[in-house]
């Protein structure tokens, strides 16, 4: 099976697995204890924190480990709601379902408009900020379905003028672009391990220095009282290892260049097929590991199943939907002609040879389906 659904989750890198194995066997220790096993565990935890911090350009104490980006997002939203319960949250309709769901904890939610390329409308955002009491604005860094990169720094400056905190979902951007927290000018950033070849079940919330955070999970003193519970040490070590791979020896630059090659190789071929329509902008206005498209007159589910039979795994419908293909809120907000486009998403394990095989398979499936529909 050639896997082209890295936008959902990416296979575990062998280097991450090797690093994790040490903490998946008999060695055990609570990082909050001062005995030898505890000190060893604490060293592994803090070393991983430093590796992740380096990847996003912050100090280690700004990184709070979580069970994933979903928990990080919920923590960001909950903290602002807890501090200002009568305030609202601004969340655009192109945000991931976890962001839109977590935002509903607020007294009210305002959705600014987006254009046909899934770019946030600045005038609509400013109008919402000027007319309402807003505690938090969620601004996605890169869209999970069509790849659009938002001008986060510019938008964050606008939000700060009205006293709002800015949180960015960086799960689909990490590993596909240079994510520097300080340069973005935001207050909180959610990231995930499994999107970049690390293990599932671990992520992080990165917070601005000096920002007071209300924890979502209460209990122990872990993560400097910002997130209670025994840390997933093996997962955190794996996350740290992948972060290290991306920050050493031009790992991130090399990966971005590789994605760009795969993107050009695939999109140029796909657009040559009759009826294929591409959604969203192209790089540099979008990340280069996501392609969203449909074929006019054909159901995306039929194409998806045809490709699956030939050994290719990709995605259709809205992100994080059930097995049943659901209409995409992102495509609806963009006012596209389709609601169920296919998403091809590359990752660290894909090769140019695999993309060449995919291009050929896609042409065959589409041609066969078009022939059937014309009978």
d(CA 182, CA 206): 11
H/E element, 166: strand 165-169
Q: Which DSSP state fits 114?
A: B
d(CA 189, CA 179): 10
Q: In 22-134, where does DSSP find H-type helix?
A: 36-56, 69-83, 97-103, 122-131
Q: Is 320 one of the catalytic residues? A: yes
H/E element, 88: strand 88-91
d(CA 75, CA 35): 31
Q: What is the residue-wise DSSP string for 229-294?
A: S---HHHHHHHHHHHHHHHSTTHHHHHHHHHHHHHHHHHHHHTTSTTEEEES--TTSB-TTEEEEE
- List of residues 6+ apart from 118 with CB closer than 8 A: 94, 143, 145, 146, 148, 280, 281, 330, 333, 334
Catalytic residue among 77, 80, 159, 320: 320
d(CA 314, CA 343): 6
Q: Which residues are catalytic?
A: 320
């Amino acid at each position: 099976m050639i896997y082209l659904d890295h936008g959902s989750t990416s296979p575990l890198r062998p280097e991450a697995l090797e690093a994790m194995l040490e903490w998946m066997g008999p060695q055990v220790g609570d990082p909050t204890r001062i005995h030898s096993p505890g000190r060893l565990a604490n060293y592994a935890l803090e070393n991983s924190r430093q590796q992740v911090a380096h990847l996003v350009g912050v100090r280690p104490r700004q990184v709070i480990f979580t069970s994933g980006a979903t928990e990080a997002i919920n923590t960001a939203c909950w903290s602002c709601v807890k501090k200002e319960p009568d305030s609202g949250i601004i969340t655009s309709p192109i945000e991931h379902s976890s962001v839109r769901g977590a935002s509903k904890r607020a007294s009210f939610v305002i959705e600014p408009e987006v254009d046909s390329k899934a770019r946030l409308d600045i005038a609509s955002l400013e109008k919402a900020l000027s007319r309402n009491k807003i505690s938090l604005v969620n601004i996605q860094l890169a869209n999970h379905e069509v790849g659009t990169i938002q001008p986060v720094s510019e938008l964050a400056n606008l939000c700060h003028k009205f006293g709002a905190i800015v949180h960015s979902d960086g799960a689909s951007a990490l590993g596909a672009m240079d994510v520097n927290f300080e340069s973005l000018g935001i207050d909180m950033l959610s990231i995930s391990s499994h999107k970049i070849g690390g293990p599932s079940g671990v992520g992080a919330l990165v917070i601005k220095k000096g920002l007071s955070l209300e924890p979502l999970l209460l209990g122990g003193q872990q993560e400097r009282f910002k997130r209670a519970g025994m840390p997933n040490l093996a997962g955190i070590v794996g996350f740290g290892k992948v972060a290290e791979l991306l920050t050493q020896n031009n790992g991130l630059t090399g990966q971005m260049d590789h994605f760009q090659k795969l993107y050009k190789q695939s999109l140029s071929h796909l657009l040559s097929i009759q009826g294929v329509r591409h959604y969203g902008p192209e790089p540099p206005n979008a990340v280069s590991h996501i392609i969203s498209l449909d074929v006019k007159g054909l159901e995306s589910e039929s194409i998806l199943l045809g490709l699956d039979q030939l050994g290719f795994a990709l995605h259709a419908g809205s992100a994080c939907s059930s097995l049943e293909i659901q209409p995409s809120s992102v495509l609806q907000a963009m006012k596209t002609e389709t609601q169920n486009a296919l998403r091809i998403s590359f990752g660290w394990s894909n090769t140019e040879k695999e993309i060449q095989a995919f291009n050929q398979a896609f042409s065959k499936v589409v041609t066969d389906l078009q022939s059937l529909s014309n009978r």
